[in-house]
Structure 1
Amino acid sequence: MRGVTPHQQARSEATFQALIAAGRKALEDKTFDQMAIGDIARAAGLSVGAFYGRFENKEAFFLAIQDIAVSEIEESLRRRLSDAALRAASDAEFLAAVAGFSIGVFRKHRGFYFASSKHSSMPPDRWSPVRRLGFNVSGLVAAELMPRLARLGRPATEREIRIGMQFMNGLLVNAVLNDPGPLRLDSRDLERYLVRHLCCFFGIDHE
C-alpha cells in the first residue's frame, strides 16, 4: 500500500491491525478531517511515533482503511454470490439478495462511506477505492445476472446491468450523505422498494 511501511515482524503487524481497527471505529462518527492521529494512536494503545512508524501520514492511513474495507466487502459478496442456495434461487430472490447485501453494507459501513465521499486524496484521473468497489460489485452481479436474464428471454448487456445497480447505489449513497427521505437508510421498507426497482428495471416478476 502506498505510504504504508511493510511489516517486518509479528509485532509490527499487530501495530498495523490495532491502528486500522481504531481508525475504522473512529470513522463510525467522525469524518476524515475530524480524525486526529493522537486520538487514533491512543485508542489503539499506541504512541504517535508508532503510528508514523507504519504510516507516512493521515492520507496514507485513510487509504489503507479504504483498501482493507473494500477488499472485505468484495470478498463477502463473492462468497454470497457463490452460495449454492442463492444459485438455485429464483430471479426475484436473487435480486432481493443483491439489494439486501447492498443495504447491509451501507448500514454497517455508513461512516466509512460518508468519510470516503466527503474526502478523496485521489486525482480526478484515478479511481478511489470506493469508486473501484462500486465498479467491481456491479461487475460481479452482472456476471451472475446476465445468464439469468438470457434464460428469461430478456438479455441485457453488462452496461445495462451496471446502470440498474447505479440507480440503487445512488439512492444508498444519497441516504448516507444527505438523508433527504422519505426512504432512509434505516427505513424498514427500504429493501422492499429496492427489490421492486431492480425487478422492474430488469423485467422480472417480483410479486
Structure 2
Amino acid sequence: MELPRPTILDIIYTEDEAAARLRLTRRSVVTLGRRYGCCSVHGRILRFSEQDLLDLWQMLRATAKGARPKATTVPMDGVSYVFFRDQARRRQQEREERARQRKAREADARERRLEEQRQAARAKAEQRNAKREAKAREAAAKRAAKAVVATGIDRKNRDPAYWTDERKKAIRRERVARMQAWVPIE
C-alpha cells in the first residue's frame, strides 16, 4: 500500500477562522467540510488547511452542468385514489365519532358528579334543618315547662318576700309567650 505524498500544510485554520476566511457561517463551513471531506476531523474538532479551503472554494464556485432533474411522480390509478380518499374519509368520521362519544361520556360523568354533589348538599341541608327543628322543639318544650311552673304563682299576693327573682322571671316569660302567641309568624 502506497501512502500519499506529504504536502506542505502552510497554515491550519479552526472552524471559526475558516468561516471568516471564506465569509460563510461557521455551521456551513463545518457542513461543507464534512460533506466533501475537505477537513481534518479529530473527535468533534475540525481543522482546515489552506488546500482544504481552496477545495471548498472550488466546490462553491462550481457551476451547474445541466438543469436539475425533476422529481418523478408515479401516476395513481383512479380506483386506488378513490380507495385512499374513502379510507381517509372513513378515518376522519371514526375520529369524529370517537370525539363525540368521548364528549358524551365526559358530559355524563360531569352530570353524575354534579348530581352527587347536589344530593350531598341536599342531605346536609336536611340534616341542618332537622337539627334546627329539634332545637326549636326542645326550646319550646323548655318554655312550656317553665310556663307550667309559672301558672302555680299567686298573682294576687302583695308580699314583697314572696316575689323572688325566679317568680318575677316566670311571670315575664309567661307574658312574652302570650304576646308572641298574638304575633303572626312569617
Flag whether TM exceeds 0.5 (same fold).
no
TM-score by length of 1: 0.17
- Higher normalized strand content (fraction of residues): 2
Higher CA-based Rg: 2
Which structure has the higher relative contact order (CA within 8 Å, separation 6+)?
Answer: 1
